[in-house]
Amino acid sequence: MDASTTWVPDERDQRALRRRGWTLGLLTTAYFFSFMDRQILAILLEAIKADLQLSDTQLGLLSGLIFAMFYATLGLPIARLADRSSRSNIIAISLAFWSAMTALCGFAQNFTHLMLARIGVGIGEAGFGPPSQSIIADLYPPEKRASAMAIYSLGVLLGGGLGMVIGGFVAHSYGWRVALMVVGLPGIALAVIMKLFVVEPRRGLSDGKAPAAPDGAPVIGMWKGIAALWHNRAALHLVAAITVTSLVGYAVTGWGPSYMQRSLGMSMLDVSKYVALPAAFVAGFSAMLGGWLCDRAAKRRGIFAQSYVVMIMKIVAFPFALGFYFVDNLALALSSYFVAAVFAGAYIGPTYAMIQHLAPLRLRATWAALTLLATSLLGLGLGPFAVGQISDMLKPTYGAESLRWAMFSVAMLTPWGIFHYWRAGVLMKRQLGEGGVG
């Protein structure tokens, strides 16, 4: 499936490599907008609930399942298109569309209106992740890919955090509707910049291989691509690991601000000022630390060691994550939250980098889309929705504290994800050889 001959970079290749820093920066910025537009509802949920008279289950649907259904299912056919055509064009169009739909959310008058607008956001964002990861994998060699993906993952961590900061401040002064418009509209201008400046690299450039076929030529069929991932047991465990971890993570980011308001006595503005902004930078530090440690481990021991690094960081974070739900003292609860965040954000970049390393060149966007399909439907879709449903079920017994126990229940899935990271490391070492570099 992959070409094995060494490819000598031509002038176009050298230009792509010279500008790869700019390309990575723009993709990270677009990812920032993607997650800001996706996660801003977290800080606005209590205001939206009061204004539109919604239940926790409905809020869970809006922040998770409804968005995820369209985001995940459309990601795969768009990724198939990205594996055979211009990825930069797909990214620019997607960015413009989801940004416009985010702004449109601000005009919603009821649950149905907001649901339809959120579906639009999901449709637009479906076209961003897989082609972006494919481009980064082509621009950075395996020994630098985890760090590059870690920088890219800053978009997730900073976008989610700063989205809550911006949303909280704007909503406090002007209402939740204006907040959605403020974060949505700038993305349209960014889409134009993306179209003009993002480099479209040759496929397989950073691997030193000739492309399997020119753009537009027939590529591996979708079902064969799915089968290839299914039969790669190491990749399958990585997908399972990031899916379970994402489910817990989306539950925390989706409901954390509401939990802080209901159980810890914080206001929406307090969460924006004292939690969201510091958490964004702590998570960003975690991502960079994870990427650096994983690349360092890969150089010393092999690519497989990256999975063990992520596993260890998740193990260290776990008891502090649980402490967040068991401590009533505000200072201690937030301290546990921040300590957990130092280690918890490290998994995203390295996991995607390992999957891209295992994927055939012409299936990189497809495997990224399959990973996003799992993390979106099961992680983003079920995480916030499950917390909302469990919270409503426990409300007769625990009252206002039902959300605390709902979030704790989902957090207890973390050891399951840790197991998959361990197993992926074992299988990668076998698959790639003792050096684990393949």
The count of domains in the chain is 1
Residue 14 zone, left/alpha/beta (φ > 0; ψ -120 to 50; rest): alpha
Confidence at residue 69, expressed as pLDDT on a 0 to 100 scale: 81
Confidence at residue 3, expressed as pLDDT on a 0 to 100 scale: 42
**Domain for residue 205, yes or no?**
no
Q: Which spans in 175-276 are helix H?
A: 176-184, 186-197, 222-231, 233-262, 268-271
Confidence at residue 405, expressed as pLDDT on a 0 to 100 scale: 94
| 85: CB partners within 8 A, 6+ apart | 215, 216
* Positions in the chain short of pLDDT 50: 1-5, 213-217, 434-435, 437-438
Secondary structure class of 54 (helix, strand, coil): coil
**Domain for residue 435, yes or no?**
no
Secondary structure class of 78 (helix, strand, coil): helix
Confidence at residue 209, expressed as pLDDT on a 0 to 100 scale: 57
260-293 tens-digit pLDDT: 988 898 988 888 888 877 887 888 888 888 888 9
Confidence at residue 208, expressed as pLDDT on a 0 to 100 scale: 62
Confidence at residue 97, expressed as pLDDT on a 0 to 100 scale: 95
Confidence at residue 216, expressed as pLDDT on a 0 to 100 scale: 47
**Domain for residue 421, yes or no?**
yes
Radius of gyration of the chain (CA): 21
From the list 240, 241, 234, the residue with the least C-alpha distance to 418 is 241
**Domain for residue 346, yes or no?**
yes
**Domain for residue 262, yes or no?**
yes
**Domain for residue 214, yes or no?**
no
Confidence at residue 116, expressed as pLDDT on a 0 to 100 scale: 92
Q: What is the span of the domain harbouring residue 16?
A: 11-200+221-429
Secondary structure class of 6 (helix, strand, coil): strand
Give residue 65's Cα distance to chain centre. 15
* Cut 0.85: pTM above it: no
Q: Give the Cβ contact number of residue 57 at 10 Å.
A: 17
**Domain for residue 2, yes or no?**
no
**Domain for residue 213, yes or no?**
no
CATH of the domain at 306: 1.20.1250.20
Angle formed by the axes of helices 364-374 and 66-82, to 10°? 170
Confidence at residue 177, expressed as pLDDT on a 0 to 100 scale: 92
